[in-house]
Amino acid sequence: MTEGATQPHAGKREKPRRVTILGSTGSVGCNTVELLEAEPDAYRVEALAAYRNADLLAAQARRLGARLAVVADDTQYPALKAALAGSGIEAAAGAAALVEAAARPSDWVMAAIVGAAGLAPTMEAVRRGAMVAFANKEVMVCAGALVTAEARRCGAQLLPVDSEHNAIFQVFAFEQRAAIERIMLTASGGPFLKRTLAEMEDVTPEQAVAHPNWRMGAKISVDSATMMNKGLEVIEAHHLFELASAQLEIVVHPQSVVHGLVYYSDGSVLAQLGSPDMRTPIANTLGWPERIAAPSPRLDLAKLAQLTFEAPDPERFPALRLARAALEAGGAAACVLNAANEVAVASFLDRRIGFLDIVATVERTLEALPDRRIDRLEDVYEIDGEARAVARRVIGNGLRTGPRPGA
Ligand code: NDP
């Protein structure tokens, strides 16, 4: 059997583990920093990277004794340099420095930049055969086949961080792959699970980012509200676990306690449970292949009393249908879907379009662009750029499906 990119193949853990965090100032990044700080002797921090939050980045770098800190936005270089003065920590800025952070010799890289902006540094970590804790799902959606092929070629171990994929990873018997019929990802349903489409028309960014179970960055919170997040996750799972669309199911589970399930041919279903706290899946990848402690609240099933499950509603959440169609179309469709969604979510957060316009923008962008093949990374950059331009045009032309929130 050929080894898949996600299939475990690492040897015994070295100590201290050398680690790098791409996106250290975000929600996943800060949770990762917290876990590192709890066990300072177990890790040596090679590099931390962020977009423009120089103050928080510098504070993290000082606390963790990082060797290098990078801001992708080079206008923030003076602020970073000043904040690190006298610390002996190297400061750098710009796109090339971001890739350099990923290229530094660490054993484990947390890929937690949001969006396709994480593609180049994440690929760099994959190319040098690192263990890559994969939170940045947009990278897997826009370039999944290239990333997994490169991981296989370079011996990189991909460790899924998304709670659902991490759950599957924990109960997926790679050596019994032939006996796996399908997997199921759970979805909380987000803050608008019970709303009609008409009731979703004028929701505000503040309402959309107020997730009932998880505290996350703004982009993924909006994706959860449209359920595009689950659509992206289905595509991500296709690449990580090498399963066909028909083997990837979604069930709505508002409590977010059961994160993922694997169905076996003998009728057994293995699931992973845990409180909705990203420190658990992050710790699972940080310690891998061993288990380390995480301070997440322990599950009290008697207190929870009830776990409920229901089928998702593709009428009210058309993002699910679009993402599934993009996966099945193959080629460039998922890359277009992702780029258009990034543009539309940013526009919604800026109050330039309404909530329902997000998915409408994605749909129109997909319709406007012909199907193409993706053979090389350059194809991804080109298609991503074109899709962003089309999505901006679609928005500029005005597609309002409802009143502008908060206007
Ligand atoms: P946040 O928005 O909280 O953080 C994003 C991080 O990426 C920040 O460190 C930000 O830096 C950095 N960043 C943003 N743009 C760029 C750029 N152009 N170049 C370099 N760095 C950049 O996001 P989350 O932590 O919520 O999510 C990160 C990824 O993990 C996403 O792909 C998300 O889908 C995924 N994920 C998140 C989960 C969660 O619980 N939050 C759960 C599962 C998956 P700065 O602070 O300077 O802007």
Which ligand 1 atom minimizes the distance to the CA of 95?
19
Contacts for 358 with CB less than 8 Å, ≥ 6 apart: 222, 226, 228, 319, 341, 344, 345, 347, 348
Pocket of ligand 1 contains residue 318 by CB under 6 Å: no
Q: Is 210 exposed, middle or buried (0-12, 13-18, 19+ CB in 10 A)?
A: middle
- Amino acid symbol at 41: D
Centre of ligand 1 from the C-alpha of residue 27, in Å: 7
Centre of ligand 1 from the C-alpha of residue 305, in Å: 34
Which ligand 1 atom minimizes the distance to the CA of 220?
34
Pocket of ligand 1 contains residue 25 by CB under 6 Å: yes
Segments of the chain scoring below 70 in pLDDT? 1-14, 400-407
| Spatial distance between the Cα atoms of 403 and 302, rounded to a whole number of angstroms | 44
pLDDT of 389 reads 98
Query: Looking at residue 304, what DSSP letter applies?
Result: H
Neighbouring C-beta atoms of residue 321, cutoff 10 Å: 15
Q: Supply the residue whose CA is at minimum distance from atom 41 of ligand 1.
A: 216
Q: What share of the chain is helix, strand, coil (3-state, %, to 5)?
A: 50, 15, 35
Full 3-state SS string of the chain = CCCCCCCCCCCCCCCCEEEEEECCCCHHHHHHHHHHHHCHHHEEEEEEEECCCHHHHHHHHHHHCCCEEEECCHHHHHHHHHHCCCCCCEEEECHHHHHHHHHCCCCEEEECCCCHHHHHHHHHHHHCCCEEEECCHHHHHHHHHHHHHHHHHHCCEEEECCHHHHHHHHHCCHHHHHHEEEEEEEECCCCCCCCCHHHHCCCCHHHHHCCCCCCCCHHHHHHHHHCHHHHHHHHHHHHHHCCCHHHEEEEECCCCCEEEEEEECCCCEEEEECCCCCHHHHHHHHHCCCCCCCCCCCCCHHHHCCCCCECCCCCCCHHHHHHHHHHHHCCCHHHHHHHHHHHHHHHHHCCCCCHHHHHHHHHHHHHHCCCCCCCCHHHHHHHHHHHHHHHHHHHHCCCCCCCCCCC
pLDDT in tens, 158-169: 999 999 999 999
pLDDT of 11 reads 45
Which ligand 1 atom minimizes the distance to the CA of 30?
25
Pocket of ligand 1 contains residue 54 by CB under 6 Å: no
Centre of ligand 1 from the C-alpha of residue 339, in Å: 15
Pocket of ligand 1 contains residue 29 by CB under 6 Å: yes
Which ligand 1 atom minimizes the distance to the CA of 117?
18
Query: Which residue in this structure is represented by tokens 């662009």?
Result: 369
Pocket of ligand 1 contains residue 164 by CB under 6 Å: no
Judge if the upstream peptide bond of residue 281 is cis by omega within 30 degrees of 0. Answer: no
pLDDT of 215 reads 87
361 CA to centre of own chain: 21
Closest of 303, 182, 302 to residue 242, by C-alpha: 182
pLDDT of 234 reads 98
Pocket of ligand 1 contains residue 51 by CB under 6 Å: yes
pLDDT of 211 reads 86
pLDDT of 406 reads 43
Pocket of ligand 1 contains residue 23 by CB under 6 Å: yes
pLDDT of 407 reads 40
Neighbouring C-beta atoms of residue 96, cutoff 10 Å: 13
Centre of ligand 1 from the C-alpha of residue 181, in Å: 33
Pocket of ligand 1 contains residue 278 by CB under 6 Å: yes
Pocket of ligand 1 contains residue 136 by CB under 6 Å: yes
- Give CA separation, 7 vs 2, 114, 161, in Å: 10, 25, 14
Pocket of ligand 1 contains residue 72 by CB under 6 Å: yes
- Amino acid symbol at 306: Q
Q: Supply the residue whose CA is at minimum distance from atom 5 of ligand 1.
A: 26
Pocket of ligand 1 contains residue 102 by CB under 6 Å: no
Pocket of ligand 1 contains residue 26 by CB under 6 Å: yes
Pocket of ligand 1 contains residue 221 by CB under 6 Å: no
Pocket of ligand 1 contains residue 160 by CB under 6 Å: no
| Spatial distance between the Cα atoms of 129 and 107, rounded to a whole number of angstroms | 9
Q: Which helix (H) or strand (E) holds 124?
A: helix 119-127
Q: With pLDDT > 70 as the criterion, what percentage of the chain qualifies?
A: 95
Centre of ligand 1 from the C-alpha of residue 184, in Å: 25
Q: Supply the residue whose CA is at minimum distance from atom 26 of ligand 1.
A: 217
Centre of ligand 1 from the C-alpha of residue 30, in Å: 10
Taking the CA of residue 69 as centre, how many other CA atoms within 13 Å lie in the half-sphere pointing to its CB? 31
Pocket of ligand 1 contains residue 347 by CB under 6 Å: no
pLDDT in tens, 112-130: 999 999 999 999 999 999 9
| Spatial distance between the Cα atoms of 226 and 223, rounded to a whole number of angstroms | 5
Contacts for 11 with CB less than 8 Å, ≥ 6 apart: none
